[in-house]
Structures are given as structure tokens and as C-alpha cells.
Amino acid sequence: MFPQSVFMVSRIILFFIATPFVYRALQAVDLSKVFKPNASEEIRFILMITSVILGFLFVDALVSLFEYVNNLF
């Protein structure tokens, strides 16, 4: 049985690891058709915000799964 602090620290560390990977994956999406021409700053801002949100959700789901398995034993 691991204490809850281990899961909190792993959430923080994994968040900073996962967010750049999510950002790189989102760069494959072509958003230039949705925005006006020469709106690269706005597209980059949307990608950064979305990658932070999705990175948090991904890490939270993964660590919550490990917490659930930890509580079973």
C-alpha cells in the first residue's frame, strides 16, 4: 500500500512529462482551415491550452486507475 502523497507527486511529475507529448500530438491537427489566415499565434495558444487540459485529464485518469488498484489490495 502506497501513501497518498506518492500519487500526488506522481500526478505532478507525469503532468509535466505528458503535456509536451500531447502538444506534439495536437500539432498534427490542421487548424488553419478554422482560423483566419496568418493566425498562427492564436492557433499556438489554442494548442497550448488544449494540451494542458488533455495532459491533466490523461494523467489524472492514469493515476486514478493506479490509486484504485492500490486500494483493492
The alpha carbon dihedral of 3, 5, 9, 10 has a sign of positive
pLDDT at residue 1 tops 80? no
Instruction: Map grid coordinates 503532468 to a residue.
Output: 15
Q: How far apart are CA 14 and CA 60, in angstroms?
A: 9
Averaged pLDDT of the chain: 93
Q: Are 47 and 27 in contact (CB under 8 A)?
A: yes
Could you state, in order of their start, the residue ranges of all structural domains in the chain? 4-72
User: In whole angstroms, what separates CA 68 from the centre of its chain?
Assistant: 20
pTM above 0.95, yes or no: no
User: For 2-35, how does the pLDDT look when each residue is reduced to its tens digit (9 = 90+)?
Assistant: 788 899 999 999 999 999 999 999 999 988 888 8
